[in-house]
Structure 1
Amino acid sequence: MAASTKTPETPDYYSKRVLSMEEASWYLGLARSSLQKMTSDRAIPHYKPNARLVYFLRTDLDNWMLQNRVAPEQEVEQQALKHVTSKRR
Protein backbone atom coordinates (compact mmCIF):
# COMPACT_ATOMS: atom_id res chain seq x y z
CA MET A 1 0.00 0.00 0.00
CA ALA A 2 1.44 3.35 -1.02
CA ALA A 3 1.70 6.07 1.58
CA SER A 4 -0.51 9.04 0.88
CA THR A 5 1.30 12.26 0.25
CA LYS A 6 -0.21 15.63 0.96
CA THR A 7 -0.01 18.33 -1.64
CA PRO A 8 -0.98 21.97 -1.30
CA GLU A 9 -4.24 21.11 -3.09
CA THR A 10 -5.30 19.04 -0.08
CA PRO A 11 -7.99 20.98 1.84
CA ASP A 12 -6.04 20.47 5.10
CA TYR A 13 -3.78 23.36 4.09
CA TYR A 14 -6.70 25.75 4.43
CA SER A 15 -7.33 24.64 8.00
CA LYS A 16 -3.68 24.67 9.12
CA ARG A 17 -2.68 27.46 11.46
CA VAL A 18 1.02 27.47 10.57
CA LEU A 19 2.28 27.12 7.00
CA SER A 20 5.70 26.25 5.64
CA MET A 21 7.42 28.30 2.94
CA GLU A 22 6.12 25.98 0.22
CA GLU A 23 2.58 25.97 1.60
CA ALA A 24 2.56 29.75 2.03
CA SER A 25 3.80 30.35 -1.50
CA TRP A 26 1.01 28.14 -2.84
CA TYR A 27 -1.57 29.77 -0.53
CA LEU A 28 -0.58 33.27 -1.70
CA GLY A 29 -0.12 32.30 -5.32
CA LEU A 30 3.47 33.55 -5.30
CA ALA A 31 6.64 31.93 -6.52
CA ARG A 32 8.73 30.53 -3.69
CA SER A 33 11.63 32.80 -4.71
CA SER A 34 9.35 35.86 -4.50
CA LEU A 35 8.21 34.86 -1.03
CA GLN A 36 11.81 34.25 0.07
CA LYS A 37 12.78 37.72 -1.14
CA MET A 38 9.83 39.22 0.73
CA THR A 39 10.93 37.52 3.95
CA SER A 40 14.52 38.72 3.55
CA ASP A 41 13.21 42.26 2.90
CA ARG A 42 10.90 41.91 5.93
CA ALA A 43 7.97 42.81 3.69
CA ILE A 44 5.74 40.02 5.00
CA PRO A 45 5.24 38.71 8.56
CA HIS A 46 7.02 35.42 9.21
CA TYR A 47 8.64 33.34 11.95
CA LYS A 48 12.13 31.83 12.04
CA PRO A 49 12.54 29.38 14.92
CA ASN A 50 16.09 28.73 13.69
CA ALA A 51 18.38 29.98 10.95
CA ARG A 52 16.92 27.81 8.18
CA LEU A 53 13.22 27.24 8.76
CA VAL A 54 10.63 29.88 7.92
CA TYR A 55 6.97 29.63 8.91
CA PHE A 56 3.91 31.79 8.45
CA LEU A 57 0.67 32.13 10.40
CA ARG A 58 -2.22 31.78 7.98
CA THR A 59 -4.03 34.65 9.73
CA ASP A 60 -0.96 36.89 9.21
CA LEU A 61 -1.00 36.01 5.51
CA ASP A 62 -4.74 36.75 5.28
CA ASN A 63 -4.27 40.13 6.98
CA TRP A 64 -1.27 40.92 4.78
CA MET A 65 -3.25 40.14 1.61
CA LEU A 66 -6.14 42.35 2.74
CA GLN A 67 -4.10 45.42 3.65
CA ASN A 68 -4.27 48.61 1.60
CA ARG A 69 -7.85 48.23 0.45
CA VAL A 70 -8.71 50.19 -2.67
CA ALA A 71 -12.24 51.57 -2.51
CA PRO A 72 -14.44 51.34 -5.61
CA GLU A 73 -15.16 54.60 -7.42
CA GLN A 74 -18.77 54.72 -6.20
CA GLU A 75 -17.64 54.53 -2.56
CA VAL A 76 -15.08 57.30 -3.08
CA GLU A 77 -17.74 59.50 -4.69
CA GLN A 78 -20.12 58.88 -1.76
CA GLN A 79 -17.40 59.80 0.75
CA ALA A 80 -16.54 62.95 -1.21
CA LEU A 81 -20.20 63.99 -1.35
CA LYS A 82 -20.58 63.37 2.38
CA HIS A 83 -17.46 65.43 3.07
CA VAL A 84 -18.62 68.34 0.88
CA THR A 85 -22.12 68.42 2.38
CA SER A 86 -20.80 68.28 5.95
CA LYS A 87 -18.44 71.23 5.29
CA ARG A 88 -21.30 73.48 4.16
CA ARG A 89 -23.02 73.35 7.53
Structure 2
Amino acid sequence: MEIEILKELQKIEQLLLIGCKNVLTPDDVSLMYGLSKDYLYHLTSDRMIPFHKPNGKKIFFHKDEVEAWLLKNPQDTDAEIRQRAAMFDLKKYGSMR
Protein backbone atom coordinates (compact mmCIF):
# COMPACT_ATOMS: atom_id res chain seq x y z
CA MET A 1 0.00 0.00 0.00
CA GLU A 2 2.79 2.47 0.84
CA ILE A 3 4.55 1.73 -2.44
CA GLU A 4 1.38 2.55 -4.40
CA ILE A 5 1.00 5.83 -2.52
CA LEU A 6 4.63 6.73 -3.20
CA LYS A 7 4.17 5.98 -6.91
CA GLU A 8 1.08 8.20 -7.05
CA LEU A 9 2.94 10.99 -5.25
CA GLN A 10 5.81 10.72 -7.74
CA LYS A 11 3.34 10.90 -10.62
CA ILE A 12 1.71 14.00 -9.10
CA GLU A 13 5.13 15.58 -8.65
CA GLN A 14 6.02 14.86 -12.28
CA LEU A 15 2.76 16.38 -13.49
CA LEU A 16 3.32 19.50 -11.41
CA LEU A 17 6.81 19.92 -12.84
CA ILE A 18 5.64 19.29 -16.40
CA GLY A 19 2.82 21.81 -15.94
CA CYS A 20 5.43 24.56 -15.56
CA LYS A 21 7.21 23.69 -18.82
CA ASN A 22 6.42 25.03 -22.30
CA VAL A 23 8.71 22.67 -24.21
CA LEU A 24 7.81 19.02 -23.71
CA THR A 25 9.45 15.69 -24.45
CA PRO A 26 7.44 12.72 -25.74
CA ASP A 27 7.46 11.32 -22.18
CA ASP A 28 6.01 14.60 -20.90
CA VAL A 29 3.26 14.67 -23.54
CA SER A 30 2.45 11.04 -22.92
CA LEU A 31 2.11 11.54 -19.18
CA MET A 32 0.35 14.88 -19.37
CA TYR A 33 -2.26 14.09 -22.02
CA GLY A 34 -2.57 10.30 -21.79
CA LEU A 35 -1.23 9.57 -25.27
CA SER A 36 1.07 6.58 -25.66
CA LYS A 37 4.60 7.25 -26.88
CA ASP A 38 4.01 4.84 -29.78
CA TYR A 39 0.99 6.85 -30.85
CA LEU A 40 2.96 10.10 -30.57
CA TYR A 41 5.74 8.72 -32.76
CA HIS A 42 3.13 7.54 -35.26
CA LEU A 43 1.62 11.05 -35.31
CA THR A 44 5.03 12.65 -35.83
CA SER A 45 6.07 10.24 -38.56
CA ASP A 46 2.82 10.98 -40.40
CA ARG A 47 3.31 14.72 -39.71
CA MET A 48 -0.10 14.95 -38.08
CA ILE A 49 0.99 16.76 -34.90
CA PRO A 50 3.33 19.75 -34.68
CA PHE A 51 6.78 18.91 -33.33
CA HIS A 52 10.33 20.23 -33.39
CA LYS A 53 13.71 18.55 -34.02
CA PRO A 54 16.36 21.14 -33.17
CA ASN A 55 19.36 18.87 -33.77
CA GLY A 56 17.74 16.35 -36.06
CA LYS A 57 17.41 13.60 -33.44
CA LYS A 58 15.34 14.26 -30.33
CA ILE A 59 11.84 15.56 -30.81
CA PHE A 60 10.11 18.18 -28.70
CA PHE A 61 6.62 19.56 -28.54
CA HIS A 62 5.43 23.05 -27.66
CA LYS A 63 2.71 22.78 -25.03
CA ASP A 64 0.42 25.33 -26.72
CA GLU A 65 0.75 23.57 -30.10
CA VAL A 66 -0.12 20.18 -28.59
CA GLU A 67 -3.15 21.64 -26.83
CA ALA A 68 -4.29 23.42 -30.00
CA TRP A 69 -3.90 20.15 -31.92
CA LEU A 70 -5.89 18.23 -29.29
CA LEU A 71 -8.73 20.75 -29.51
CA LYS A 72 -8.76 21.39 -33.27
CA ASN A 73 -11.74 19.22 -34.22
CA PRO A 74 -14.62 20.15 -31.90
CA GLN A 75 -17.85 18.18 -32.10
CA ASP A 76 -21.16 20.00 -31.93
CA THR A 77 -23.63 19.19 -29.17
CA ASP A 78 -27.13 17.95 -30.01
CA ALA A 79 -28.51 21.38 -29.08
CA GLU A 80 -26.12 23.11 -31.51
CA ILE A 81 -27.05 20.71 -34.30
CA ARG A 82 -30.78 21.25 -33.68
CA GLN A 83 -30.29 25.03 -33.63
CA ARG A 84 -28.40 24.94 -36.92
CA ALA A 85 -31.09 22.74 -38.48
CA ALA A 86 -33.79 25.16 -37.32
CA MET A 87 -31.89 28.10 -38.80
CA PHE A 88 -31.47 26.19 -42.07
CA ASP A 89 -35.21 25.47 -42.16
CA LEU A 90 -36.01 29.13 -41.52
CA LYS A 91 -33.73 30.29 -44.31
CA LYS A 92 -34.84 27.68 -46.82
CA TYR A 93 -38.52 27.34 -46.06
CA GLY A 94 -39.32 30.49 -44.08
CA SER A 95 -40.58 32.48 -47.04
CA MET A 96 -42.63 29.56 -48.42
CA ARG A 97 -44.81 29.12 -45.32
Query: Same-fold call, TM > 0.5?
Result: yes
Q: Which residue of 1 aligns with 2:61?
A: 56
Q: Which residue of 2 aligns with 1:3?
A: none
- Report whether the alignment pairs 1:23 with 2:28: yes
Aligned length: 84
Give the percent of matched residue pairs that are identical in Structure 1 and Structure 2.
Answer: 29
Which one has more relative contact order, counting CA pairs under 8 Å at least 6 apart? 1
Map of 1:24-39 to 2, 5 A cutoff?
24-39=29-44
- Report whether the alignment pairs 1:80 with 2:78: no
1:49 deviation in Å?
0.5
In structure 1, stretches of 5+ residues that fail to align are 1-5
Structure richer in helix, relative to its length: 2
In structure 2, stretches of 5+ residues that fail to align are 1-9
State the Cα RMSD in Å. Answer: 1.8
CA distance in 2, matches of 1:66, 1:33: 20
Verify the 8 A CA contact 2:26 2:61 in the aligned structure 1. yes
Q: What TM-score, normalized to structure 1?
A: 0.82
1:41 deviation in Å?
0.8
CA displacement 1:27-69 (0-9 Å, x = unmatched): 2211111111111110100000022110000000110110111
Q: Which has the larger radius of gyration?
A: 2
Q: What TM-score, normalized to structure 2?
A: 0.76
CA distance in 2, matches of 1:14, 1:64: 17
